[in-house]
Structure 1
Amino acid sequence: MKTEVRMMKPVAMALSLMLLVSNAGAGERESLEQLRSTTVGLIEALVQEGILSKEKANELIRKAEAAKQAPAESNAQPVVAGVADATAQDGSVVRVQYVPEFVKQQLRADIEKDVMAKLNYHVESERLALPSWLDRISFEGDVRLRYEPDRFSERNLPEFQYGLNTGRQAMIANSTDDQNRYRVRARFGINAKLSDTFTAGIRMTTGHMDNPLSPNQSIEIRQAKLDWGLDRVFVTAKPYSWLTATAGRFANPFFSTDMVWDRSLAFDGAAVTFTPKLNDSVTGFGTIGAFPIDQVHKNSFNKAKDKWFMGAQAGLEWISPNKSSVKAGLALYDFKEVQGIRNNQDGVDTRYNASVMPWRQKGNNTFDVLQNGDASCGLVDLANGGQGYSGSGCGLASKFKVLNLTGQVDLATFDPVHVILQGDYARNIAFDRQEIYNRTGRLYDKETDAYQVKLTVGMPDVANRHDWQVFGAYKRIEADAVMDSFNDSDFNLGGTNAKGTILGGSYGLDKNTSFTARWYSTREVSGLPLSIDVFLFDLTARF
């Protein structure tokens, strides 16, 4: 009986709409005829899904056709109608019947809601839709094509000379020969809503498997296939609106810029973020986390310790009624066991070889942990234009504990055009010249400060056709201000001991398709001359 009642509701609506068409005046007939056509289609769909029999459907349509052909002067009242009087040329009164627009809109909404819900089920209430787990799955991804001309100054020395007795910049694969690189990046991710509290996700990306920073890969026929690896795998819990906890390999949880962390770097470990709302305009935020860098397999021949870091950040964000905002955060990143440890001088001891960072770019002060007289710390030439390498004997001279202050002002007065000013300052407060001398036998200058300022004008996100954005920045990073393993891999082709400007812009070619051009012009802060101009031309399609 309940099933029959549920069936009659959409049927009654459909019949009422068809009767409206038959009783409408000429001014309404065209639009109602369109509505009648839709209603007939819905009746046929009800038949196909077993909700309505073919005989009952034919009977409904016959009744509607009969009503349509009834005389216009019939005294029958419409199901839903209004009546207005008008005077004809002969002075007689003509009654014009009409259906208010709001009634038609309400009827359409009711039919769509009720009938579409019914179509999800058989008469026996069996599910007709796709498996329910598909409702909890979402996909994301993008494809980026890049043309990258790299230009090196004539003032630069040959690459091998940068490692000779400098303790710095030993990881330069090319410093004199201009190059043009054609590169691609592809990413594809799947996110699942497990419950109201838990979500999980994975993401695949291109890129060399020994490079934690850049997902870019040079394309050439010689490389028959591109590398494709798992870049994200995480579980997130959000038990309260103000509390989020994530574990696995996931995106950067800190409010920061690429001066400290490359935009593509994945964080391995666990992090908890708090976002308490202090009032209608001000929200606090805080993040704490622990992240392993290199888990060393210790034994009697390997005495190096695991490398990891802890991070903590606190800050405030103010949002005005017109969506302008001010945000600032102070963070401390405490790196453990990343400094190199010298082996004994017998030429055989290798117990502390693993104290060397497994991945570096260039710029941090270093020393030779192998005690074999190789001051260049194992200079190598990388294939495919890479900027980093696993230096077999090149240990970091300084310890690292980075204090980082980040701020942003976003003016939305001219929305959708925004004016965004960002500032960033970092200092390595763990640098101790005497401690470094005791451990390495070498003296190093204290170069531990970094800062950048960036101005952006345009849409905050270039996502639609004709969206645009222009930006300019200045950045200065001293040798031991931040770890050269993790910061921006494009500026100065990666690493520290560099200063320079960044100019660029983005334009939306279509929805989810944009073009971006950037120019990085850099040179050394101190030491041997090294000037590099990097141009990036990116075509990005998101889905």
Structure 2
Amino acid sequence: MLCLAVGLLLGGQAVAGLAQDAAPSTNATINLIRLMVKKGLITQTEADGLISEANDEAMQARKATAAAPTAVPADGAQPGDVRAVYVPQNVRNEIREQVKQEVIAQAKSEHWAEPNALPEWLDRISWYGDVRVRDESWYYSRKNSPDFINYAALNQTGPYDINSITQGVTPPILNSTQNRLNMLRLQAHIGMKIKLGDTVTAGVRIGSGNDNNPVSTTQTLGGGLVKKNLWLDQAWIRWQPNAYYSVTAGRMPSPFLQTDLIFSPELNFDGVIGHGEFPFNDDIGAFVTAGAIPIQYTSNTSNNTPTQAFSNQKADNGDKWLWAAQVGFKWNFASDATWKAALAYYFFNGMQGQLSAPCAIYTGINYCSTDSTAPQYMQWGNTVFLLRDIIPNPSSPTNYAQPQFVGLSYNYHVADLTNKVDFKVGETPIEIQAEYERNMAYHARDAFDRYANGLGQPVNNYQGSATSGTNGPYKSGPVGWLVRGIIGTPQPMALNEWNIALGYKYLQPDATLDGLTDQNFHLGGTNAKGFILTADYGIAPRTWLSARYFGAKQVYGPPFTLDVVQFEISTKF
């Protein structure tokens, strides 16, 4: 009790203030009990009981002392001497340091001891970002075919009049022969997370980028030294009622367990995503992720498109969505060894293009009935066909304008199995990745049998032909897979941390949507296969150098081989 009293009395003015409310007693125990009442440690009723017991014990002690013969204290003290308890210096230092730390922590949390204290709401905001500068080169094989039509550019700048080909006006053509060397490129992001309460968090991030494509925020430098673009890259709100369940709405990072086979690592998802964790024990747990993701609406201003159409001729509801669900598990099967596996189904609804009703472009209208079924963003690889069934001009039935868009020949319902195994050999981390996917909606003949009179036939993915001006047989496929091994720290964030990775990727033309794939491998899209070799080395805290090689060529069709080489310096903060 005396030790406790010494500790409390070291509180200084706070204890003195509390003691002033009651007259001091000659009994130290009674004074201590009163102080405990003031501190709220016990109630007044409990204090009264303790004081009564203390008085009774004191009375009994006095009677016993009076009845007993006087004894000489062992320490030689005489009647009337006052004893003082000695507290060692190291104990006093420890008590003082503990009180000091508690006071400092309280001062920081309540901002009452900081000069120019910041507002409380700033404590709920955290900032983060990254910057990457890259030197990039593209090396094309001399054996590549020179005549690949860029159907993505045709849709973006179109419609393109295919009749003008006979007049020597070519459609957009991909570069497949001329190297592009030492292009300096930049990527930068800055974002913040805001804690809005115990269960709600929001996030906003802006990023660089040449354009508003969904798969890359890389910005090419140069261009006359003009200022560079910034885009709203992420904006989301997450409600998480407990540690195991969450719902996120807005534009957010990928919530799925994945590699870079189907989706670009930089791809963000719009929509609403729910996620749940189900731990079975310390070593095994399951998870579920599901979401509704809008890909494309008929029009952002549906009352105004097509511009020349009357109200009853406006485009009908042709919205395109991705409905996604993934179920997986995590197993810590040994010390420093983890296996993650997930089965996903990505149901892209409404992506298949539709042939228009007979369309009288010669009358001066600028639309046909199914123009809205053209994809808003493509790269290359997917099988496409001409969307418009254009009626010949009666005044010139053999030579008339045929402005066209292209649409996707197939639906895309992708089943995907992803595996990641992490372990260590000695102190060196190793990760093995394996992913396999298949488009369950792919049936090759569907691209030829949908419409009569030869309409809706694919215009790409034909094999080369020995006869000039003719195509070989049509060839596509629904399968993609990837394997990769990573030795070292996957993300170097400290000096001398490193990794080396080697992988092989294979994507048939209609395995998945070409518009959402990684833009580094074969410069994006599908119908590509080849090796990926990368290496990272940390040169300072949160800063590292990278070297990357993507060697890819077409799976089917005329030859198109492309090597991409990148050297980078990156930092995160």
TM-score for both structures, normalised by structure 2 = 0.70
- Could you report, residue by residue, the CA deviation over 1:163-208 in whole angstroms, capped at 9, with x for unpaired residues? 799xxxx976311111122110110001001111100010000113
Asked if 1:113 corresponds to 2:115, the answer is no
Contact persistence 1:353–1:392 (CA under 8 A): no
Among candidates 373, 378, 385, match of residue 355 of structure 1: 373
The letter of the residue matching 2:176 is: S
Among candidates 287, 303, 310, match of residue 316 of structure 2: 303
The letter of the residue matching 2:344 is: A
Structure 1 counterpart of 2:47: none
Tell me how far 1:350 sits from its aligned partner: 1.0
Separation in 2 of the partners of 1:277 and 1:121? 37
Contact persistence 1:477–1:499 (CA under 8 A): yes
Asked if 1:205 corresponds to 2:213, the answer is no
Separation in 1 of the partners of 2:98 and 2:326? 48
- Could you report, residue by residue, the CA deviation over 1:340-388 in whole angstroms, capped at 9, with x for unpaired residues? 1112344426111111111011100111113469xxxxxxxxxxxxxxx
- Could you report, residue by residue, the CA deviation over 1:406-435 in whole angstroms, capped at 9, with x for unpaired residues? 0011013533x2111000001000013343
- The 1:129–1:162 alpha-carbon spacing in structure 2 relative to 1, beyond 3 Å, is closer
Contact persistence 2:108–2:114 (CA under 8 A): no
Among candidates 193, 199, 219, match of residue 221 of structure 2: 219
Q: Helix, strand or coil for the counterpart of 1:456?
A: strand
- The 1:346–1:245 alpha-carbon spacing in structure 2 relative to 1, beyond 3 Å, is closer
- The 1:321–1:127 alpha-carbon spacing in structure 2 relative to 1, beyond 3 Å, is farther
Counterparts of 1:266-281 in structure 2, within 5 Å, are: 266-281=268-283
Separation in 1 of the partners of 2:341 and 2:562? 32
Structure 2 counterpart of 1:337: 350
- Could you report, residue by residue, the CA deviation over 1:446-475 in whole angstroms, capped at 9, with x for unpaired residues? 500000100000013211111100000001
The letter of the residue matching 1:482 is: T
Asked if 1:424 corresponds to 2:435, the answer is yes
Structure 1 counterpart of 2:422: 410
Q: Helix, strand or coil for the counterpart of 1:482?
A: coil
Separation in 1 of the partners of 2:349 and 2:426? 46
Separation in 2 of the partners of 1:233 and 1:337? 26
Structure 1 counterpart of 2:325: 312
Tell me how far 1:217 sits from its aligned partner: 0.6
Asked if 1:80 corresponds to 2:88, the answer is yes
Structure 2 counterpart of 1:134: 122
Contact persistence 1:322–1:413 (CA under 8 A): no
Q: Helix, strand or coil for the counterpart of 1:488?
A: coil
CA RMSD of aligned residues (A): 3.0
Structure 1 counterpart of 2:547: 517
Tell me how far 1:221 sits from its aligned partner: 5.1
Contact persistence 1:199–1:237 (CA under 8 A): yes
Separation in 1 of the partners of 2:110 and 2:180? 62
- The 1:119–1:273 alpha-carbon spacing in structure 2 relative to 1, beyond 3 Å, is closer
Give the stretch that moved more between structures: 280-289 or 154-163: 154-163
Structure 1 counterpart of 2:179: 178
Tell me how far 1:404 sits from its aligned partner: 0.5
Structure 1 gap ranges (5+): 13-75, 82-98, 374-390
- The 1:221–1:497 alpha-carbon spacing in structure 2 relative to 1, beyond 3 Å, is closer
Separation in 1 of the partners of 2:486 and 2:98? 43
Among candidates 490, 498, 512, match of residue 460 of structure 1: 490
The letter of the residue matching 2:216 is: S
Structure 2 gap ranges (5+): 1-6, 15-83, 155-161, 163-170, 303-310, 362-366, 392-402, 459-473
Tell me how far 1:106 sits from its aligned partner: 6.4
The letter of the residue matching 2:126 is: S
- The 1:392–1:337 alpha-carbon spacing in structure 2 relative to 1, beyond 3 Å, is farther
Separation in 2 of the partners of 1:259 and 1:408? 13
Contact persistence 2:212–2:231 (CA under 8 A): no
- Could you report, residue by residue, the CA deviation over 1:69-106 in whole angstroms, capped at 9, with x for unpaired residues? xxxxxxx998533xxxxxxxxxxxxxxxxx48xx7566
Separation in 1 of the partners of 2:380 and 2:172? 6
Contact persistence 2:142–2:177 (CA under 8 A): yes
Give the stretch that moved more between structures: 199-208 or 343-352: 343-352
TM-score for both structures, normalised by structure 1 = 0.74
The letter of the residue matching 1:402 is: V
Among candidates 496, 501, 506, match of residue 526 of structure 2: 496
Identity of aligned residues (%): 31
Q: Helix, strand or coil for the counterpart of 1:485?
A: helix
Contact persistence 1:255–1:406 (CA under 8 A): yes
The count of aligned residue pairs is: 435
The letter of the residue matching 1:404 is: D
Among candidates 263, 266, 269, match of residue 264 of structure 1: 266
Structure 2 counterpart of 1:291: 293
Tell me how far 1:238 sits from its aligned partner: 0.8
Contact persistence 1:308–1:335 (CA under 8 A): yes
The letter of the residue matching 1:537 is: F
Separation in 2 of the partners of 1:529 and 1:194? 55
Contact persistence 2:412–2:513 (CA under 8 A): yes
Q: Helix, strand or coil for the counterpart of 2:212?
A: coil
Separation in 2 of the partners of 1:264 and 1:7? 61
